[in-house]
Amino acid sequence: MPLKVGQILDEKYRIVRLVGEGGMGTVYEAEHTFLGRRVAIKVLSSEFANNAEAIKRFYREAQAAARIGHENICEVTDVGQTVDSPYIVMQLLQGKSLAAAIVESAPFPVGRAVDIASQTLEALAAAHAGGIVHRDMKPENIFLTRIAGRGDFVKVLDFGISKIRASDTGT
C-alpha cells in the first residue's frame, strides 16, 4: 500500500511527497518529526514484500551503504518496516542522475568528465576496501548534487545487488 502525503511513518517520519518509483521500490521525501531534517525514504514495493530474496537484497543495500561511510556514497541513516514492506531512510539529495546529465549536456568537457569519474572511483575504492562490490554501476546509479557550493558532487546509489565478501563480514 503506498504511503500518503502527511502520513506519519514509525511515529517519526512525516511523508512530504512522492519522489519517484523504480522496479523494486518507491522513494518519498519525508521529514523527521522531531529533528526537522528532510530525508528520503525508499519503501520496498508491496509485490516483493513476501519475497525473502528481495527483502534480503533490500536490506543488503542499506547495510552496504552504511558500512562504507564515504562522502561519495549516499548516506543511510535508518531502516524500518511499514505495515506491508521494509523501508530504508537515506540522505535526501537534490540534483540529477548522471544519465539525465548526459542526455541534457553531453558531451562533457574533459575536466568535468574526469572529476565525475574520479569521485565515482573514490567511492568504489572505499566500497572495495570495505569488502563490498557494487555490481550495478551505471549512469542511473551515479547522482550529481551540489554540496557546500560544489557542483557535480557525486553520490553513488543503489547497493541492492552488491556483494559483501564473506571473509569481511565474519561469516
Q: What's the CA gap between 54 and 24, in Å, rounded?
A: 8
pLDDT of residue 169: 45
Cell of 105: 549536456
Q: What's the CA gap between 34 and 12, in Å, rounded?
A: 7
Q: CB-side exposure of 63: number of CA atoms within 13 Å? A: 15
- Would you say the pTM of this structure is higher than 0.85? yes
**Residue 160, SS3 per DSSP:** coil
Q: What is the pLDDT of residues 56-83, one digit of tens each?
A: 888 888 888 888 989 999 999 999 998 8
| Residue pair 118/130 in contact by the 8 Å Cβ criterion | no
Residues annotated as part of the active site: 136
| Residue pair 169/162 in contact by the 8 Å Cβ criterion | no
Q: What is the pLDDT of residues 112-171, one digit of tens each?
A: 999 999 999 999 999 999 899 898 899 999 999 999 899 999 999 988 777 877 654 444
